[in-house]
Amino acid sequence: MIPASGPMAFFLSTGSHEALALPLAMLTIFASAKLLAEIFERIGISGIVGEIFAGMLIGPSVLAWVAPNELLVSLADLGVMFLLFRVGLEVKPEELLKLGGSAALVAVSGVIVPMIMGWGIMRFWGSPQIEAIFVGAAMVATSVGITAQVLAAKGLLQQRSSQIILAAAVIDDVLGLLVLASVSGMARGEVNLVEIALTAGLAIAFVVGIALWGNKAMGKIVPRAQESLRVAEAEYALAVVLLFALSVLAVYIGVAAIVGAFFAGMALAGRVGHRVNDLANGAAELLVPFFLVGIGLHVDLSAFRDQSMMILALVLLLAAVASKFIGCGGAALGLGKAEAMRIGVGMIPRGEVGMVVAQIGLGMGAITQNIYGVVVFMAVATTVVAPPLLKIAYKGVEAAAPEERYSLG
Amino acid sequence: MIPASGPMAFFLSTGSHEALALPLAMLTIFASAKLLAEIFERIGISGIVGEIFAGMLIGPSVLAWVAPNELLVSLADLGVMFLLFRVGLEVKPEELLKLGGSAALVAVSGVIVPMIMGWGIMRFWGSPQIEAIFVGAAMVATSVGITAQVLAAKGLLQQRSSQIILAAAVIDDVLGLLVLASVSGMARGEVNLVEIALTAGLAIAFVVGIALWGNKAMGKIVPRAQESLRVAEAEYALAVVLLFALSVLAVYIGVAAIVGAFFAGMALAGRVGHRVNDLANGAAELLVPFFLVGIGLHVDLSAFRDQSMMILALVLLLAAVASKFIGCGGAALGLGKAEAMRIGVGMIPRGEVGMVVAQIGLGMGAITQNIYGVVVFMAVATTVVAPPLLKIAYKGVEAAAPEERYSLG
């Protein structure tokens, strides 16, 4: 039988390779993620870590069943967007704004300490100036997805420390943007201060504007839309449109799409019915494993055949953990030692954000392939160590009852 | 600022084209689908037709905002898989098996009549033998997605006629597979009867086996899994794994992935809690618009600059509608005229299935580019005329109450 071909080959297939590719990839990734999550839960480690390990296991380094491709990256991106959207739905912007001062302090200190530490280590190691700066920059930005997923799963999103982590991560993203712009400028030999200031202004206006007025606006728009719209599941459709619209706007302005997704959720917090939460969860539960597996897929262990690289990777990992713990935790000491510890630990994951900076550095020739591998290792490893540390840091904190976790309006 | 690049470029983007591509495509497609669905609902046409029109509007023929690409096709494929999975969740296999006899009659008659009609028209038109056969084959297979979506949205899935349509569509898919295998063999000049018989045997064993024992097996597996699994949303995770696993198996065996997805849902019908339904709906509501828009995207109006092609397209469309209405409706006349009409109308959509056959014919050189365009038009147009006709055919039939639509166990 001839194989079907072309874009719609998936249907009425005749056992062809193309028709098999999509469901097989979905099955491999989703099932291995859930299998390892189950195993890791059973041995007392977070299931999230299990899903990241699933990515390493099936990825190029070990079994080589799956390699990152455009579809998987897109599903991963959608996964983290829905993850942050879902988190946003549980966060009231007023409360986040109230914590803005503490969060800003945490974010700024959490940018400066890792930057300096990363730069210092690389200079000590003998790296050229620009490479050291790029590694420092890759250690700056927090990937809030991992922490948010842990806190959401444990019903801890309403904790003050959790909200500070979320707010600090948003500010951190804006700061990371400025750091990246400056560092890229340095690598090219021209730092455009006007452009950087403009970017900063736009990003701040976007973030503050939506935090201040988004939720109020939705309080007016959603009830009217609900009354007049005839399309099925209109509220959910509206929520999804807002999610993508603010993601697009966020990228236009220069911050990450997930910041837009998070703000879309926050704008709708308390303004939409519980069903929107359930439906968004259905999409998130399908897509988030692709995000987690995707992080694991990027680990390339071949960089570590060289023993000195392995040592550097471990030193950088330690520095990455310690610098956020000290930088962010230290800035939050005024809230008490326990809260400071939670915040310090919650800001540790670098994940995909660190990888992007390293990738840009690689693309510009500012860092070598080996150092790139080391930075990716650092970025992934920080996402793996964070969930167990969060578990310890939040020990004894009472989780919201399941029904209160989505107490929206 | 330099554009981010590489697979993870989406994150911490700096306003780059790549980072924008995903959320912008998602926004464009999803929002335009829902906008046109709303408009079409308001003017009294089905929202589903609106979403297909959205695809034509933003597709290459008119605005050219979006062209089919790998990601969109994959999302469309996932959409129709979740759609059929959701439908399967509401169908009890015992009931479907009980209707097997009537359904088989409907399916067989609904294959023969369109095949002969399509072939006859093309021969009359002056087409060579093999082209006429391919067009006939493209008119054979029903795309059950559109009908299922209409019936599910209106709460009519529990109707006898609806269940016959679903069962007949599954049998139709197996028959379509055999027709395609035979026709492809003819085009190559060698029909392998052993291979075709083997394919048929496997497909029938798969379909009957899962219909007979799948639900019973799940009745034993799901409660045990629920007790022992620790991973979050374990029931939904299990359901998604089954969905992809049976889709893979279906493609291996030779039937469409959506048949596997449908059977996964049916195996779980009454065996999983209501939450699985809600979560699957969340994924489906996100993804189904990509399936519907995807159908519309494939229309290429440039084939119709030639007036004679336009006439042929209209004749073929009429034949496509009439042949299923007569073939399937006629075979169901024993159930009464009203039921026969519903079944005849429900089997009209050809959608993506007809397109694939035409594509294979085009790839083998059996049909010309112009005839390909005509067949695609026929396939899409049948999906557009079906929802309003279904509305008429089911007029006066009482829908299940919303809470009964998902009365699972």
Subunit contact B260:A23, Cβ cutoff 8 A? yes
Q: Write the pLDDT tens digit of every residue in B89-116.
A: 988 888 888 898 999 999 999 999 999 9
- Give the per-residue pLDDT at A253: 85
pLDDT tops 80 at residue B8 = no
Subunit contact B26:A78, Cβ cutoff 8 A? yes
Q: What is the mean pLDDT of residues A55-66?
A: 89
- Give the per-residue pLDDT at B272: 92
Domain B69-395: give its CATH code. 1.20.1530.20
pLDDT tops 70 at residue B15 = no
Q: From the list A12, A260, A356, which residue is nearest B12 (CB)?
A: A356
**How far apart, in whole angstroms, are the C-alpha atoms of residue B65 and residue B72?**
13
Q: Across all residues in chain A, what is the average pLDDT? A: 87
- Residue B388 host element (H or E): helix B369-393
- Give the per-residue pLDDT at A249: 93
Give the Cβ contact number of residue A17 at 10 Å. Answer: 13
- Here the tokens at position A366 are 């500012």
Which value does ipTM take for this structure? 0.86
Q: Write the pLDDT tens digit of every residue in B275-316.
A: 999 999 999 999 999 999 998 998 877 777 788 889 999 999
- Give the per-residue pLDDT at B58: 94
- Give the per-residue pLDDT at B401: 59
Contacts of the segment A228-232: beta carbons below 8 A, 24+ positions apart: A229/B38, A230/B38, A230/B41, A230/B42, A230/B47, A231/B34, A231/B37, A231/B38, A231/B41, A231/B47, A232/B47, A232/B153, A232/B285
Chain A: nearest CA to B160, how far in angstroms? 24
Q: How confident is the model at residue B87 (pLDDT cuts 50, 70, 90)?
A: confident
The rounded percent of chain A whose pLDDT value lies above 70 is 93
Q: From the list A26, A31, A241, which residue is nearest B30 (CB)?
A: A241
Chain B: nearest CA to A99, how far in angstroms? 24
Integer CA distances (angstroms), A330 to A105, A319, A385, B139, in order: 10, 15, 20, 70
Chain B: nearest CA to A286, how far in angstroms? 7
pLDDT tops 50 at residue B317 = yes
Chain B: nearest CA to A336, how far in angstroms? 32
In chain B, which residues have their Cβ closer than 8 Å to the Cβ of A80? 11
Contact A73, A295 (CB under 8 A): no
CA closest to A11 among chain B residues: B256
CA closest to A21 among chain B residues: B248
Residues contacting residue A10 through CB under 8 Å, at least 6 positions apart: A4, A18, A19, A22, B73, B77, B256, B257, B352
- Here the tokens at position B5 are 């690049």
Domain ranges of chain A: 24-396
CATH architecture of the domain with residue range A24-396: Up-down Bundle (1.20)
pLDDT tops 60 at residue B244 = yes
- Give the per-residue pLDDT at A402: 54
Q: What is the mean pLDDT of residues A161-179?
A: 89
Q: Which residue, among A347, A406, A391, A395, has the nearest Cα to A167 in the 3D structure?
A: A347
Contact A216, A93 (CB under 8 A): no
Coil, helix or strand at residue B183: helix
Identify the top-confidence range among A277-291, B133-147, B175-189.
A277-291
Q: Write the pLDDT tens digit of every residue in B380-401.
A: 999 999 999 999 999 988 777 5
Q: From the list A68, A188, A244, which residue is nearest B30 (CB)?
A: A244
Q: How confident is the model at residue B199 (pLDDT cuts 50, 70, 90)?
A: confident
Q: Write the pLDDT tens digit of every residue in A97-111.
A: 889 899 999 999 999
In chain A, which residues have their Cβ closer than 8 Å to the Cβ of B257? 10-11, 13, 19, 22-23
User: For chain A, how big is the Rg over CA atoms in Å?
Assistant: 21
Give the Cβ contact number of residue A270 at 10 Å. Answer: 17
Contacts of the segment B37-41: beta carbons below 8 A, 24+ positions apart: B37/A231, B38/A229, B38/A230, B38/A231, B38/A234, B41/A230, B41/A231
- Give the per-residue pLDDT at B402: 54
Q: Kindly provide the b/e burial profile for residues A154-174, where b requires at least 16 CB atoms within 10 angstroms of the residue's own CB.
A: bbbbbbebbbbbbbbbbbbbb
Q: Which residue, among A138, A152, A169, A381, has the nearest Cα to A256 in the 3D structure?
A: A169
Q: What is the mean pLDDT of residues A346-362?
A: 87
pLDDT tops 90 at residue B149 = no
User: For chain B, how big is the Rg over CA atoms in Å?
Assistant: 21
Contact B236, A282 (CB under 8 A): yes
Q: What is the mean pLDDT of residues B54-63?
A: 90
Contact B62, B56 (CB under 8 A): yes
**How far apart, in whole angstroms, are the C-alpha atoms of residue A386 and residue A45?**
11
In chain B, which residues have their Cβ closer than 8 Å to the Cβ of A73? 7-8, 10
CA closest to B18 among chain A residues: A251
**How far apart, in whole angstroms, are the C-alpha atoms of residue B5 and residue B330?**
58
pLDDT greater at residue A250 or residue A400: A250
In chain A, which residues have their Cβ closer than 8 Å to the Cβ of B140? none
Contact A288, B240 (CB under 8 A): no
Contact A33, A292 (CB under 8 A): yes
Chain B: nearest CA to A160, how far in angstroms? 24
Q: Across all residues in chain B, what is the average pLDDT? A: 87
Q: Write the pLDDT tens digit of every residue in B157-170.
A: 889 999 999 999 98
**How far apart, in whole angstroms, are the C-alpha atoms of residue A100 and residue A43?**
38
- Here the tokens at position A290 are 């692709």
Q: Write the pLDDT tens digit of every residue in A251-306.
A: 888 888 888 999 999 999 989 999 999 999 999 999 999 999 998 898 877 777 78
Q: How confident is the model at residue B180 (pLDDT cuts 50, 70, 90)?
A: confident
In chain B, which residues have their Cβ closer than 8 Å to the Cβ of A175? none
Q: Write the pLDDT tens digit of every residue in B245-273.
A: 999 999 888 888 888 999 999 999 989 99
Q: How confident is the model at residue A396 (pLDDT cuts 50, 70, 90)?
A: confident
**How far apart, in whole angstroms, are the C-alpha atoms of residue B128 and residue A180?**
63
Amino acid at A208: V
- Here the tokens at position A357 are 């900076």
pLDDT tops 80 at residue B7 = no
- Here the tokens at position B97 are 């098996």
Give A340's Cβ-side CA count (13 Å radius).
14
Amino acid at A32: S
